[in-house]
Amino acid sequence: MDAARPALFRPSGGRWVAVIALGLLALGYAFYMRYSVIQHTPTGLACDAGLPTLLCRMRSATIAIFQHTGFGALALAAAAVNLWRPRVALFALGLVAAALGIVLYNVVLSGIAVALLILSLARPAAAAAR
């Protein structure tokens, strides 16, 4: 590699494993919330009737967040900051929020965030140190 060319932002192998595991957990949770809780008619009817369970509170919170584009906005904000100052924690936060947003109806902002996350892998690692 050329000495004048700075190294690109690349997390280590162990950090990639953690980021991928977090992304897959977020994706699994999003699928569970969408297909087993939000779109499941008996669960929806029970929660709308006032069932005071943690599942119904999680359902209400998730619905409120995606109605206000919360997952997509968080993913886009984390990805934009990560593009500016690459950090593994920001990359993981953006990936988790994007996974939740893509499955839970915030597709446009989450898709842009994924593109920014991919683009951040082409940033010099030295930009984070300055």
Q: Tokens in use for 54?
A: 């943690």
Angle at 72 between CA 127 and CA 74, to 5 degrees: 50
Angle at 105 between CA 86 and CA 80, to 5 degrees: 15
Average pLDDT over residues 58-87: 95
Domains: count for the chain: 1
Domain contains 3: no
pLDDT of residue 8: 82
Looking at the chain, the whole-number percentage of residues with pLDDT higher than 90 is 82
Angle at 95 between CA 89 and CA 96, to 5 degrees: 90
pLDDT reading at 1 higher than 60: no
pLDDT reading at 15 higher than 70: yes
pLDDT band at 11 (very low <50, low <70, confident <90, very high): confident
Domain contains 4: no
The range of the structural domain enclosing residue 96 comes to 14-125
